[in-house]
Amino acid sequence: MNESKKFNKKWFLLLIPIALVAVLVTVMLVFSPKGEKGSKTITISVVDSKKQTVTYTTKTDAEFLRQVMEETEGLTFSGNESEYGLMVTVVNGETADFNVDGSYWAFYINDEYCNYGIDSQPVTDGDSFKIEYTK
Amino acid sequence: MKKLTVKDITLFAMMLAVIEVSKLALSFLPNIELTTFWIIIFTLFFKERIIPVIPAFILIEGVIYGFGLWWFMYLYIFPLIALMTYLFRKNKSVIFWSVFSSVFGFLFGFLCSFPYIIIGALEGGIKNGITYAFSWWVAGISWDIVHGVGNFFLMLALYVPIIKVTEKLSKKFFADKKD
């Protein structure tokens, strides 16, 4: 009888990770940023370390910022792929590496700090992004 | 307070080396790690002797990879794993420790999101902080699931053989000690 109770308790424990996965998947499905289909006009401004600004305007069907940036003529960027998408370290040839000197490229959407990485930051028609060298 | 012996210092170094080497060996697999596994096993076996190992491990990680924001997350997450393990140390079930280890994997992103509350709050108030932390957590949930599943199966596969070996070695190593 005791052995059977112990056995049941052990298997009951397995419900914890199963329940956690269910909760995590639900949160992910409900709250993950969702892109918007259709044509959009997006503005991207790059402010470099000398506070000089270059502004680009792009017409796109892209749903997330990374694709908009890739489609923007004249804008170049690169970085390190991570589990949160691309961590941008180089924009228009200028490097900002937090591990080297505490500098980074800050991303703003309509003057508010972006809450997502560029791979998951949704874009809507008329959005204005700012990519600013910050130290 | 117990007197620190040469054996104790050697044990610290061995634990640290095992954790670091395992971490480095699996670093090519995102979110699959043995650090949680070893901290649990070492806490179960060597109890308070894990205390100097965790800060040393965190310091080495900072020196190797740079003292980024993640480093501050390590400062409370790994001591928390050791503390929780110590509280449940009487449990010997492989299923229990597999579930325990997986829970830390599943909640890793959630636990890591706390500093973002402060960062977001500094930018635009506490509401912004909570939104920022929540968004950051949601963005990494798929990787938390990988982390939790990885932790579960690593513990399930390694707990029994490693416990057997560690039991044998620790008896030999600490033959002169009663604890």
Residue type, position A41, single letter: T
Residue B57 tokens, joined: 């491990």
CATH class for the region spanning A40-134: mainly beta
Given this model, what pLDDT does residue B51 score?
Answer: 93
The answer to whether the CB atoms of A83 and B123 lie below 8 A apart is no
Task: For tokens 């796109």, name the residue.
Answer: A60
Distance from CA of B143 to the nearest CA of A (A): 7
Rounded Cα–Cα distance for residues B120 and A99 (Å): 21
Q: Is the pLDDT of residue A82 over 90?
A: no
ipTM: 0.85
Q: What is the pTM of this model?
A: 0.78
Q: Round to whole Å and give the CA distance between A72 and A76.
A: 8
Strands (E), A1-134: 40-47, 53-60, 77-82, 85-91, 94-95, 104-109, 112-113, 128-134
- State the nearest Cα–Cα gap between A84 and chain B, in angstroms: 6
The first and second tokens of residue B58, run together, are 């965190």
A127 to chain B nearest CA, in Å? 19
Residue of B nearest to A24 (CA): B141
pLDDT tens figures, A110-126: 988 887 889 989 999 99
Inter-chain residue contact A17 with B143, CB threshold 8 Å:
no
pLDDT digits (tens, 9 = 90+) for A51-71: 999 999 999 999 999 999 999
Measure CB to CB from residue B93 to each of A10, A32, A112 and give the nearest one.
Answer: A10
Residues B104-140: pLDDT tens digits? Answer: 999 999 999 999 898 888 877 888 889 889 988 998 8
Cβ of B141 within 8 Å of Cβ of A28? The answer is: yes
Q: Using a CB-CB distance cutoff of 8 angstroms, which residues of chain B are in contact with residue A104?
A: none
**Contact criterion met (CB < 8 Å) for B106 and A17:** yes
In this complex, is the C-beta atom of A19 within 8 Å of any C-beta atom belonging to chain B? no
The answer to whether the Cβ–Cβ distance between B134 and A31 falls below 8 Å is yes
Contact B138 A99 (CB under 8 A): no
Task: Name the residue facing B141 among A13, A24, A115 (closest C-beta).
Answer: A24
* Mean pLDDT, residues A93-100 taken together: 87
Residue with the bigger pLDDT between B145 and B8: it is B145
| Backbone dihedral angles phi then psi of residue B134, each to the nearest 5 degrees | -65, -45
